[in-house]
């Protein structure tokens, strides 16, 4: 299943999650965090891009919150700028945190119903096998009433 980000005209993803047009607060928070860490390390955007393994313009867009970064690329930024020694990927952490949030009291089906998204998406998120981007994380966190950064780390 491919999860597409919303278009500015619809404001809604294929999953039914609603988004505001423009950069989300989570995008801006992550961008500011990575900019701060890059500056602390005394790196240019070109040097940071080489460290992360992306193009310099992509680093610029992430820092400005202009790109809905997927969790695979977000993982590269976390490893480059905020290594914590945890061997799990950001995608795996997100899945584990969703599973922990629902705990014993909620099934995948009830969570999918609450979030108004397909149960297969919840299953694949928890397995760490679906490509998810920060806008989806932010929308899910908002519906769950949790800080999106808690779902990512």
pLDDT tens, position by position, 132-141: 999 999 999 9
Q: 35-43: list long-range contacts, CB under 8 Å, 24+ apart.
A: 35/63, 37/81, 37/82, 38/63, 38/81, 41/81
Q: Are 15 and 140 in contact (CB under 8 A)?
A: no
Q: Is the pTM of this model over 0.75?
A: yes
Kindly tell me if the per-residue pLDDT of 13 is higher than 90. no
Q: Report the C-alpha gap between 36 and 17 in whole angstroms.
A: 30
Question: Which residues neighbour 51 within 8 Å (Cβ) at sequence distance 6 or greater?
Answer: 43, 80
pLDDT score, position 15:
53
pLDDT score, position 129:
92
pLDDT score, position 5:
34
Q: Report the C-alpha gap between 42 and 60 in whole angstroms.
A: 15
Which alpha helices (DSSP H) does 1-147 contain, by range?
A: 25-40, 45-52, 56-63, 71-81, 90-102, 108-115, 119-127, 134-144
Q: Report the C-alpha gap between 29 and 142 in whole angstroms.
A: 15
Question: Which residues neighbour 38 within 8 Å (Cβ) at sequence distance 6 or greater?
Answer: 45, 48, 59, 63, 81
Give the DSSP H or E segment for 151. Answer: helix 148-152
pLDDT score, position 97:
95
pLDDT tens across 29-74, in order?
A: 999 999 999 999 999 999 999 999 999 999 999 999 999 999 999 9
In terms of Cβ atoms closer than 10 Å to its own Cβ (0-12, 13-18, 19+), residue 145 is exposed
């Amino acid at each position: 299943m491919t999860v597409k980000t919303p278009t500015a005209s619809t404001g809604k993803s294929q999953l039914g999650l609603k988004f505001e047009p423009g950069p989300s607060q989570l995008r801006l928070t992550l961008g500011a965090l990575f900019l701060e860490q890059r500056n602390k390390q005394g790196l240019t955007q070109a040097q940071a891009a080489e460290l992360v393994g992306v193009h310099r313009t992509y680093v610029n867009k992430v820092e400005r919150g202009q790109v809905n970064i997927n969790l695979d690329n977000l993982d590269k930024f976390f490893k480059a700028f905020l290594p914590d020694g945890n061997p799990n990927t950001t995608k795996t952490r997100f899945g584990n945190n969703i599973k922990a949030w629902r705990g014993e009291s909620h099934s995948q089906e009830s969570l999918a119903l609450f979030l108004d998204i397909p149960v297969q998406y919840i299953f694949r998120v928890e397995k760490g096998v679906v490509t998810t981007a920060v806008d989806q994380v932010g929308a899910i966190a908002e519906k769950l009433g949790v800080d999106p950064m808690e779902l990512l780390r």
